Chain A
Amino acid sequence: MLGRKVYLILSFIFIGIIAIALSFYLYNKPHVNIQKTDADYHLSAQQLIRDYEDFEIESNKKYSERLIEVEGQIHEVSTLRGNMVIALKPANSPSSVICHMLPEESEKVLMLKKGQIIKIKGKCTGYLLDVIMVRCILVQ
């Protein structure tokens, strides 16, 4: 009888520990590792902008919050509050894909030159005159 009670208490403690560990893990779950995760879409800056310009609502459903690998020509490299920002702008387009880079990419971004064609992977957050991407990395 006593043995069963001890067994029951131990099981409860065990389940409790698992539950606490699981909630702690979920609560502190890290952001998606951009480097290690495959992109959901691979396309050119021009195509991404065109999709948003023509079908903003549909493109928002398709691309927002997704990991996208975008290829395009560097129009501008700037710094914003300590982090690097790269604008990829197709010729004859008033819009760009604005990529906010992760801090660990800064050194590599400093080596880039205007006009260079590069590939960037990051999370798309939507469209505001330009397509916005955050947490971006350079794809080698």
Chain B
Amino acid sequence: MKGFYFIIINLLLLNCLTAQGKYLTKEGYVSFFSHSIVEDIKADNNQVLSIVDTDTGEIAIQLLMRSFMFKKALMQEHFNENYVESYKYPKATFSGKINNIADVNDLNMEAEIVGKLSLHGRDKEISTKVNIRMVKDELILSGEFTVEVADFDIKIPAIVENNIAKTIKVSFELHHKPYK
């Protein structure tokens, strides 16, 4: 299943890269936030790869789990080694479709984005609202959604159970440029 998914995402990437009217960023921003009574945990990733095909609305996103930067080194270490097992699953991917992309203009418009999020070797269908606008030649997508830690088979040891939220908020801001 993983191999199949890998082929699909690469085909989509290649398809997007060779066709016309495509938008790309290698510097997209994704962050996640966990709030619990014990502590708040936040991590930022500024190296997100995202490709959008404005003709079909298809979107493919890839990010490296190790590119998430935490304030505390210990949190980053635990995240990579114990929770998401970055050495085994180095990337997270999203592959989906933006509905009503044909109506996009320079105003802040809301669109629906539906697709599959793959993380820690598990897939999950995601459907969320996204703010979308075209500023000069930039296609900007931003928004937030929540994910359940349990959906991705991420095991949190009982000792730190109260430190990490069961539902994590994910925010994103992707400034795509025309791919030439």
How many CB-defined contacts (below 8 Å) exist between A and B?
A: 59
A134 touches B69 (CB 8 A): yes
Chain A residue at minimum C-beta to C-beta distance from B67: A125
- The main secondary structure of chain A at its interface with chain B is mixed
Query: What are the residues of chain A within 8 A of B73 when measuring CB–CB?
Result: 29-32
Question: Counting CB contacts under 8 A, is B86 at the interface?
Answer: yes
Interface-side segment among B58-66, B104-112, B131-139 = B58-66
B: contact size bracket: 20 to 34
Question: Counting CB contacts under 8 A, is B47 at the interface?
Answer: yes
Question: Counting CB contacts under 8 A, is A132 at the interface?
Answer: yes
Query: Per-residue CB proximity of A1-45 to B under 8 Å, as 1/0?
Result: 000000000000000000000000011111110000000000000
Query: What are the residues of chain B within 8 A of A100 when measuring CB–CB?
Result: 46-47
Chain B residue at minimum C-beta to C-beta distance from A87: B26
Question: Counting CB contacts under 8 A, is B80 at the interface?
Answer: yes
Could you tell me the distance in whole angstroms from the C-beta of A52 to the nearest C-beta in chain B?
11
Chain A residue at minimum C-beta to C-beta distance from B39: A27
Question: Counting CB contacts under 8 A, is B158 at the interface?
Answer: no
B46 touches A64 (CB 8 A): no
A residues engaging B (CB < 8 A)?
26-32, 60-61, 64-65, 80-81, 85, 98, 100, 125-130, 132, 134
